C-alpha cells in the first residue's frame, strides 16, 4: 500500500508556523509572537535599504520574526537576542526544522550587546511585560516599572546613537519610544506596525 507523505509549508499560516513550537509557546503566540504577515512586512522594510545586512530583533522570543525574515531574505542576517533560555531553545529547534541558516540567536539581555554590530532593528514592545501581566510568558523574570523605565531609556539611547539611514520597525509601540531624529515612513491605519528611518 502506498503511503502518502504530506509536507507542511510552515510559512503558509500562523497555525502552520506555530506548530513548530511546544504547546505552551503555541498558546502564547497570539499575544506574544509576531504574526507571519507582519513579520514579512517588517523584514521587507528592514532589508530594503541600500546598506546594512544585520537585522536585530530585541527580545526575539521563540524566533518567529527572525526565522520568517531569514527565510524570505537569505542575503541578510537576522539576529535575535532573548533573555529566556527556554525560548532560545524553541527558536533553534524551529530554525533547524525550517532550514534557515542566516539566523543567529543570542541568549542574553539586550543591555549586554554591542549594538554597533547591528544595522537595523525590529522591536515588538518587548519591555511591556514589566507593566502588563496579562497572559505572562512565565514568572521566572523579575518585572517592575523601574526595569521598564531603565530598558526603555537604554533602547532610546541606542536608537539615538545609530547613524542616519538606520531603519526601525516597531509593533504595538507608542511613538514616544522613538527619538524625534527618526521619521515615520509608514503606518497603515488599523495596523500596529510602524516603520521608521533615522534622518
Ligand X SMILES: C[S@@+](CC[C@H](N)C(=O)[O-])C[C@H]1O[C@@H](n2cnc3c(N)ncnc32)[C@H](O)[C@@H]1O
List the interface residues with ligand X, window 152-181 (CB under 6 A): none
State which residue, 44 or 137, has the beta carbon closest to ligand X: 137
State which residue, 34 or 98, has the beta carbon closest to ligand X: 34
List the interface residues with ligand X, window 54-83 (CB under 6 A): 57, 59-61, 64-65, 81-83
Which H helix or E strand runs over 37? helix 36-46
- Considering only the stretches 47-55, 93-101, 123-131, 178-186, report the one whose residues sit in contact with ligand X under the rule CB under 6 A: 123-131
State which residue, 96 or 199, has the beta carbon closest to ligand X: 96
27 binds ligand X (CB under 6 A): no
Rounded distance between C-alpha atoms, residue 63 and residue 46, angstroms:
16
Q: How many helices (H) and strands (E) does the chain have?
A: 6, 7
Rounded distance between C-alpha atoms, residue 36 and residue 42, angstroms:
10
84 binds ligand X (CB under 6 A): yes
The secondary structure of 93-152 as a DSSP string is HHHHHHT-TTEEEEES-GGGS-GGG-SEEEE--GGGGGT--SS-S-S-S---HHHHHHHH
90 binds ligand X (CB under 6 A): no
In the bound state, the residue with its beta carbon closest to ligand X is: 59
What is the pairing mode between strands 120-123 and 167-171?
parallel
Per CB under 6 A, the list member of 21, 45, 105, 127 interacting with ligand X is 127
- The C-alpha cell that represents 118 in the structure block: 547591528
* Number of neighbours of residue 7 by Cβ within 10 angstroms: 5
Per CB under 6 A, the list member of 17, 21, 33, 73 interacting with ligand X is 33
- Interaction site with ligand X (CB under 6 A): 32-34, 57, 59-61, 64-65, 81-84, 87, 109-110, 124-127, 137, 151
Amino acid at each position: 500500500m502506498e503511503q502518502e507523505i504530506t509536507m507542511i509549508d510552515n510559512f503558509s499560516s500562523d497555525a502552520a508556523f506555530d506548530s513548530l513550537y511546544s504547546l505552551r509557546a503555541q498558546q502564547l503566540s497570539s499575544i506574544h509572537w509576531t504574526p507571519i504577515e507582519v513579520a514579512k512586512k517588517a523584514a521587507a522594510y528592514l532589508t530594503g535599504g541600500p546598506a546594512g545586512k544585520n537585522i536585530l530583533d530585541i527580545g526575539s522570543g521563540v524566533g518567529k520574526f527572525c526565522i520568517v525574515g531569514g527565510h524570505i531574505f537569505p542575503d541578510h542576517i537576522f539576529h535575535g537576542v532573548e533573555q529566556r533560555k527556554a525560548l532560545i531553545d524553541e527558536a533553534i529547534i524551529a530554525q533547524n526544522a525550517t532550514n534557515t541558516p542566516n539566523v543567529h540567536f543570542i541568549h542574553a539581555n539586550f543591555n549586554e550587546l554591542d549594538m554597533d554590530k547591528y544595522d537595523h532593528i525590529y522591536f515588538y514592545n518587548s519591555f511591556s511585560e514589566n507593566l502588563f501581566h496579562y497572559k505572562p510568558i512565565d514568572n521566572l523574570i523579575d518585572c517592575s516599572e523601574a526595569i521598564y523605565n531603565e530598558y526603555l531609556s537604554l533602547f532610546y539611547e541606542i536608537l539615538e546613537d545609530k547613524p542616519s539611514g538606520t531603519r526601525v520597525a516597531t509593533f504595538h509601540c507608542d511613538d514616544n519610544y522613538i527619538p524625534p531624529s527618526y521619521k515615520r515612513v509608514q503606518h497603515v491605519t488599523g495596523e500596529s506596525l510602524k516603520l521608521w528611518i533615522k534622518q
